[in-house]
Chain A
Amino acid sequence: MIFVQAALTGVLVGGLYALMAIGMSLAWGMLRVINLAHFGLILFSAYLTYALTTDVGLDPLLTVVVTVPVTFLIGAAIQWGYQRFAVSELSSLLVSFGLLIMGIQLISNVWKADFRRLAADVNPYATGSLTIGPLVFPMPTLIASVAAVTLVVLIHLVLARTYVGRALRAFAEDPPIAAAFGIDHRRLGVLLGGAAGATAAVAGTLFAIGWSLTPSTAFEWFGVVFAVVILGGIGNVLGTLLAGALVGGIAGVMTIAWSSVAAPVVVYSLVVLALLFRPNGLLPRRGGHGGHR
């Protein structure tokens, strides 16, 4: 039973991983940009939630009203920069690594390197839990996964059904041709960069509600988030969600069965296996979702 509990909790946490990964995956698949600064945005909005809750007294979930616009603007600005200077895929990895380092250092200069956690009196979601038979699910994890799944499905629908979504997919498939058919890729790119930033904000806020923060937390996300991006298929929305659940579940079981520090070994072995046998991600690929090179 303890394994079932661990696996299910892990799957729920995996929803949050998927939300962290989705912005990065979309930008990589559709804009050909590997934006490590995405981790910085998640971290920044988590701290913003912490500050707004602790110092202003906002309900932690309501802080998205602030964090989402802020990271939307930053994400859009960064993407504008990539386009303005025609940064290549590999260069974007380096540039965003530089941006991430700067961001993390700024954050630790402002909020110090200590652990920060929302105090119980300002965080109404910290202590609740849902009990189903013998299984117990902590409230922060539940909220995070429900919000994450909702958002990811929403993004999928936007990409599949709306004009903007179709234009983006057309652009990901063949930029010059899409441009020739009147798709303004620059504006779309900046919009998508902003949207990716917005998902980072939600992920950061949800993280702050349930977990404690240090600036170096951003590096701890590296492993799982990349595993989710690659397993899910670069640019594949639903695949990312599935991969998040898988990685979360496996990491949860590994933590119980062995040790929490062993989880990355297993997760990364999965990534290598996936690259060997399913290089386009877990789900079969349908046209238009990028990941193609």
Chain B
Amino acid sequence: MIWRGLAGIGLAVVGLAVLPWVREALDLPVFLLAFGTLVLTWTALATSWNILSGYSGYFSFGQGGFYGVGLYTTAVLTGRHEWNFLATVPLAGLVAAVLGLLVGIVAFRLRTLSGEVFALLTLAVPFIVAPIARLNPSIDGGQGITVPVPEIPEPLNGFQDLSFLLSLAIAAIAVVVAYVAQRTRLGWGLFAIRDAEGVAEGLGVPTFRSKMVAIAITAGIAGMAGSVGAIQVGYVTVEGTFNLQVPLFVIVMSVLGGRLHWLGPAVGALFIVTLRDRLATSGFEGSSLIVLGAILVVFVVLAPEGLVPRMRRRLVPVLVTVAGVVALLVVTGLRQDPVDWLALGLLAGAVVAFLPGIRRRASGEVEPVGPPVAEGEPAEGEPAEGEPTEGEPTADEPAAAPGVLPAEATEATDATASQRGPTREPIVVATDLTKQFGGVRALHGVSLTVAEGELIGLVGPNGSGKTTLVNLLSGLLRPSSGSISVGGVDIVGLPPHRIAHAAVARTYQIPRPFASMTVRDNVAIAIMFGRSPTDLESARAAAEEHLALVGLAHLADALPGEINLHERQLLEMARALATRPRVLLLDEALAGLNPVEVDNAVGVVRRIHASGVAIVLVEHLLRVVNQLATRIVVLDHGRILAEGDPASVMSDPEVIRAYLGRRAAGRSEPAYEQRGLADA
């Protein structure tokens, strides 16, 4: 699959590479090569920009800085130190990549970094690099540098040929990297970062490293493009190099072409360069930036997905139109200039891609969301499950559970065994955890052990520290003091993706799916970045099993926006399971569900537990906790108020007081029953 695509790109590159000789044979003007060089240079710059900014959503205004650093590397080395030009090209890429990594180290370490602040920080790159170049006489010193014309290697016929082929090579590198990334873990990690970065990290995506790799690629390719730019410009100055033209152009090109597709920026570059060229030759040079600005505004607001996805939806009509218009112009001889043919052909193609009538039909093909799940009968008709779930108990009759696990019985009889039983291997051991937020102490001295096979119900009034505890266990927050070990390994201070690999997974109170990916791919991401990394295809296949376990197999192709809250919560569970955890932290996974959905979710939690995963269930519905838990831990004001088997904990007067106030504590019924009445 990926090889076919690469072969196609390779073929296109070879086709373009012979252009200098074809041009000579056909005696076409040199101008065409210069035009092609321009398109390819901008293809390289825009495509490389898109790998960071389009894929991961971190918009960068720094592309001009990276380009400029590459340009100056070559200018200084060839113009002042008589280096061989070709040797400076990779070096320029390296210098720019190092600068990119420096920017990344600073920016991506900031805890409060948002996409917007990142954009503004990268805006600083040219503002900081330019004065350094201008003040330092060994770089520029304010006079500019003349770049010598490089030697032209043998089979080439002139400077323009060399410039064209080098730009082609760099553009090819950029496009290949963008293409491969879109089909491998690098790109999918970046997509996950764009959709929900914290979640991605928690599922095992090494977010920091992914962003660093992306910014190094972006900067490195821009630096090489700058290197070739140096010989094209001939005379470089600080003012002419470090301005906002490069970032503006790459942003407009990528937005126009489409930021989520590897080919988008290249198509955008072709459009914009052609457009600018035509505007300039017809005397509208002064309005070219106005047109560019207008394109940016209109596309961001009205068509944020860009041209390429729309063109792909009706590929044949678009291609036929472009070819038809070009052929018509060539045959009739209405226009002489080949760039005119291209400009009008592209314009016609874009119009076809945007025609409203056809589009409606095309977008109607989006697979309809499946019928609402049969929520009334949980897990009905899911033959894929390997677990013995038949005879699923309804939640109203907990005692009728046919003992999927011994610990499942809810009455006090044998639940105590799991609490005291030393035979079970502890997986997570948290000791004396304290977490302080400014002056507020969310947790003091909480110790908790999660052993194999347990299903711990973590309850407590609002603000008692339940979610904080989950956040500490999943590594989202660091404890102020105390230790947490998973499987005997200390995890405090490890990034969440490493903790995910250490077999602790979590769900979020408010489901946070990756909005641009299908349900199946949401789960596949977690598999791809799990302990044993896999490629996209096998991850997609493996995702089915987890979807079946939670009963979402029939919605695998839907987008998260098309499924309901309950289904999204189930998706959260499937995604967490896909990391193959030994401990699963469910943070209010049942919040906001109607009674029927709650019953279904209870069934799913049982099945997950039965498959051998220990669970920590944070939940307000005591009825549910009481049915499921083998042990209950009650938090109040950041301390453990009580723990033990459900029945004894729930009749503990302290617990009743914390939950229902002083008066209720005087009565004798267990708290959960009163709570159950209140819930109904």
Residues of A within 8 A of B (CB): 34, 85, 87, 89-91, 93-95, 97-102, 104-106, 108-109, 216, 219, 222-223, 226, 230, 259, 261-262, 264-265, 268, 271-272, 275-276, 279, 293
Contact = CB atoms under 8 A, between A and B. Distances in A.
Contacts of B25: none
A9 B412 CA distance: 78
A87 B110 contact: no
A219 B289 CA distance: 15
Given A100-B293, A265-B131, A272-B121, A91 B301 contact: yes
B197 to A, nearest CB: 13
Q: Which range contains the number of B residues in contact with the other chain?
A: 35 or more
In order of increasing CB-CB distance, the 5 nearest A-B pairs are: A98-B296, A102-B293, A279-B112, A101-B293, A261-B131
20 contacts: A87-B301, A90-B119, A91-B300, A93-B59, A94-B59, A94-B251, A95-B297, A95-B300, A101-B248, A104-B289, A105-B289, A105-B290, A106-B290, A223-B124, A226-B123, A268-B124, A268-B128, A279-B111, A279-B112, A293-B114
A34 B116 contact: yes
Contact of A98 (B116, B120, B121, B294): B294
A104 B59 CA distance: 22
Contacts of B115: 90
Contacts of B295: 98
B289 A268 contact: no
Residue among B112, B134, B243, B302 having the largest count of chain A Cβ atoms under 10 Å: B112
B296 A97 contact: yes
A95 B134 CA distance: 32
A75 to B, nearest CB: 16
Contacts of A223: 123-124, 127
B18 interface: no
B384 interface: no
A262 B142 CA distance: 13
B68 to A, nearest CB: 15
Contact of A105 (B119, B128, B287, B297): B287
Nearest to A82: B301
A129 B457 CA distance: 74
Contacts of B398: none
Given A94-B251, A223-B124, A279-B112, A102 B289 contact: yes
Nearest to B125: A268
Contacts of A87: 300-301
A230 B106 contact: no
A94 B290 contact: no
A101 B127 contact: no
Given A91-B300, A230-B117, 5 more contacts: A91-B304, A93-B116, A261-B134, A272-B121, A279-B112
B132 A275 contact: no
A160 to B, nearest CB: 24
Contact of B293 (A34, A99, A108, A293): A99
A185 B277 CA distance: 44
Contact of B297 (A98, A108, A226): A98
B130 interface: yes
Contact of B127 (A95, A108, A222): A222
A85 B132 CA distance: 42
Contact of A265 (B111, B132, B294, B296): B132
A171 to B, nearest CB: 19
Contacts of B131: 259, 261-262, 264-265
A279 B255 CA distance: 30
Interface in B264-290: 286-287, 289-290
Given A87-B301, A109-B286, A226-B123, A95 B296 contact: yes
A174 to B, nearest CB: 16
B294 A219 contact: no
Nearest to A34: B116
A219 B244 contact: yes
Given A105-B287, A261-B135, A219 B243 contact: yes
Contacts of B117: 230, 275
A225 B375 CA distance: 55
Contacts of B294: 98, 102
A106 B290 CA distance: 7
Residue among B128, B251, B287 having the largest count of chain A Cβ atoms under 10 Å: B128
A91 B251 CA distance: 12
Contacts of A272: 106, 121
Nearest to A91: B300
A101 B121 contact: no
A2 to B, nearest CB: 20
B315 interface: no
Residue among B106, B110, B296 having the largest count of chain A Cβ atoms under 10 Å: B296
A99 B296 CA distance: 9
A262 B113 CA distance: 26
Contacts of A265: 127-128, 131-132
Contacts of B255: 94
Given A223-B127, A272-B106, A102 B290 contact: yes
Interface in B614-630: none
Interface in B49-103: 57, 59
A100 B244 CA distance: 12
